[in-house]
Amino acid sequence: MKQIVCVSTSNYHPFPTRKQNIMNRLKDAEILYIDPPVSFLAPLKDKTAKARLKAYRKPGEKVKENITVFAAPPVIPFFNKFRFINRMNQARLARYIKKRMKEHGFHNPYLWCYSPTSCDLADHIPHKGLIYDCVDRHSAYKGMIDPAVVDSMEKDLAQKADQVFCTAEGLYETLVTYNKNTVLIPNGAAYELFSQAAGLREREPGAEEKPVFGFVGMLQECIDYDLIARLAEAYPEGEIHLIGRPLPGVDLSGLSRYENIKQLGLIPQKELPPYIRRFDVCLNLFREGKLAKDVSPLKFYEYLATGKPIVSTREPLQVSEFSDVTYICHSPEDFVVKCGEALAEDDGEKRALRMSYGKACSWDERVKHMEEILKERDIF
């Protein structure tokens, strides 16, 4: 059985992202999943982070028969601005991981990394293979970072890696110059789950027919909330359902004045299908920018699996691959028009085609492709 240490950028709980979906599907593997650390300054911005400062002292949580989750020890801040701080943080993380490896009988595992900061971790942990799975333009994030430092760390990690995967064309164009063994594999969807939301919305007999526009996903800074407000004004008789939790620093108070915008909060993934089934139209809305351009939105592939009409901004660029079944808007005014067109759609063939695309983009297919590549290159 393969031994894998996954150094993640997303906590295993509560919201499944690419990291969890891949690790959950890797065959014949025992996995130590390392949640990302919090910095010692994190509680100043997010009070909930205080409890996580000591979480690394707790025993690992066995979430599946083959997966154990550990919290990483807290880190010194400014590690994305000063490389020497990252080196200190990663040396400490390496000592922690090696202890967990010893407890689980790990020897010479595969390192599966998601952050450029892991460039300074790999040298401390003997490994059979190093895989870098790049899911974002990390240097485009705001906050306490120096983009040049982040890009430099990513270059180092990609050059050390035995295999690089990435989620978007823009990321591929950069990473392939560092490592010829770079393969583009976009995000996917839990097709078997989200296809349960397929079909027209069930309406209660005699009830007023209110159009429902829905969004599912992290409410982060790169989402275009101005478009959501514009839609609320254009359809006062309708409802906009936002499912997800705002990330720290994201202010949604401007949307609270619209009574027809319903903020439903974070809903466990397994409970999502009944909520999405109520949608008439699914929304994929990103502000233009470096981060949005190269993102591979899970929500978009999940929407495809439902078969429901999708209205999307031009970015992320990956949506253009599905322009035959997606209403892509080119301006704020066009967004409202496209929402009207999507709402009026009565095309069973389009719905079926969206679902077929969603199935082809399932996580099962994505992970199968990854494993085939790793086996072909004698890494696995």
- pLDDT for 334 beyond 60: yes
Element (H or E) spanning 173, and its range?
Answer: helix 169-175
C-alpha–C-alpha distance, residues 52 and 74, integer Å: 8
C-alpha–C-alpha distance, residues 186 and 188, integer Å: 7
How distant is the alpha carbon of residue 25 from its chain centre? Answer: 16
- pLDDT for 208 beyond 70: no
58-72, 198-212, 358-372: the lowest-pLDDT one: 198-212
Residue 60: CB partners within 8 Å, gap ≥ 6?
32, 68, 69, 70, 100
pLDDT for 128 equals 96
Bridge partners for 284 per DSSP: 312
pLDDT for 204 equals 56
- pLDDT for 207 beyond 60: no
- pLDDT for 206 beyond 70: no
Give CA separation, 164 vs 4, 49, 131, 360, 377, in Å.
16, 31, 6, 22, 12
- pLDDT for 250 beyond 90: no
Asked if residues 57 and 47 have their Cβ atoms less than 8 Å apart, the reply is: no
- pLDDT for 49 beyond 90: no
C-alpha–C-alpha distance, residues 319 and 199, integer Å: 22
pLDDT confidence of 205, banded at 50, 70, 90? low
Encode pLDDT of 343-374 as tens digits: 999 999 999 999 999 999 999 999 999 999 99
pLDDT for 45 equals 77
Encode pLDDT of 68-98 as tens digits: 999 999 999 999 999 999 999 999 999 999 9
- pLDDT for 239 beyond 70: yes
- pLDDT for 43 beyond 90: no
Domains in the chain, ordered, with CATH?
A: 2-188+363-376 (3.40.50.2000), 191-360 (3.40.50.2000)
pLDDT for 211 equals 95
Give the mean model confidence (pLDDT) for residues 270-286. 95
Encode pLDDT of 119-165 as tens digits: 999 999 999 999 999 999 999 988 889 999 999 999 999 999 999 99
Strands (E), the chain: 2-7, 29-35, 61-64, 67-71, 110-113, 129-134, 163-166, 182-184, 212-216, 239-243, 261-265, 281-284, 310-312, 326-328
- pLDDT for 21 beyond 60: yes
